[in-house]
Amino acid sequence: MCKVSVVIPVYGVEAYITHTMQSLQNQTFRDFEIILVDDGSPDQSIAVAKAALENSDLTYRILTQENSGQGVARNTGVAAAKGEWIYFLDSDDVIQPQTLERMLELTEEYPAADIVYTDYQYVYEDVFRKGPVTEEKVTAFTREEMLEGFLLRKKVVLVPGTLYRKSFLEDNNIRHIGIRWSEDQLFMWNVLSYVKQVVHTSRVLYNYFRHPGSTMSATPTGRVVDAYAVWKETMPRLGDENTKRFALARWVLGCIRVYAQRSNYAQWKGLAESLEVTKHMEVLLRFPSWPVRVFALAGVANKRLLYWLCSVGKTK
């Protein structure tokens, strides 16, 4: 047994994973295990990670599976975890030295907390970055506050970089669903539908590394359409009344905004029709945020107008 299990899906990150392992070696808190889940990686990622850990005092295990995606790999890691708490870490990201120590301190200060999350920053090059030095603010939220904030995009909770009580995940049968687009957001909706208390610290403790191979950088539209089918089936069972009413439509708007930045109108229109965009924009006409209602009004009036609005700022 240990206090924390750090679960890391591994796929195609041999150029980055050494720094991820180094950030774990630098942790001021030491009672944790590392679970590396080899998701059928085609390169030497696992060998590189193992070489980085061999001479350290850290406990680690390597699990293997056929390539099934990041979410399934996380499920594999959680099933094998011995820790009281689960911490997901992506295999190309890095965390600050005090990350685990500070988050566990908050679990002691707030014993009713089911999850603890922190602020984060994007990192665009393979270096460590210190978080901005600001006065820390710690806040405890209820389920209702988190659902509302997550729906309105006022509370941003990443799946990696968040600490989860393992018994909370197990008791509520919360698992990743094996889709290849937006699986993190769907997982977090599931989590927030069952939490009793969530604790947040404004300290920047997670560095989210963005690079050309990142999932969000290039995903085929077919995966988005496949994910839509799962979202349609799953979301009616989650959250409160506002979640059931608006979350799917709000997700569709997010998808078409992303793809408007990447594609021409004809390509975008095909995806929008597959996602039943007109129906969802009609729902969003009553969304509790006026910027979203502007997009919804454009979508109901004219698809080309909606595309233009979504693609504002698109680089040519």
Burial of 102 (0-12, 13-18, 19+ CB in 10 A): buried
**Which range among 72-81, 93-102, 117-126, 261-270 shows the weakest confidence by mean pLDDT?**
117-126
DSSP reduced 3-state for 107: helix
Secondary structure (3-state) at 121: strand
d(CA 146, CA 50): 38
Q: Model confidence over 84-100: pLDDT tens digits?
A: 999 999 999 999 999 99
Residue (of 252, 212, 197) closest to 228 by Cα position: 252
Residues ≥6 apart with Cβ < 8 Å to 271: 221, 224, 225, 255, 256, 259, 263
Give CA angle at 228 (37, 265), nearest 5°.
115
User: Could you read off the pLDDT of 134-145 as tens digits, one per residue?
Assistant: 789 999 999 999
Query: In this structure, what token pair is assigned to residue 97?
Result: 């030295």
Q: How confident is the model at residue 1 (pLDDT cuts 50, 70, 90)?
A: confident
pTM of the model: 0.93
Give the per-residue SS3 of 60-76. Answer: EEEEEECCCCHHHHHHH
**Is 131 a residue whose pLDDT tops 80?**
no
As a whole number, mean pLDDT of residues 139-153 equals: 98
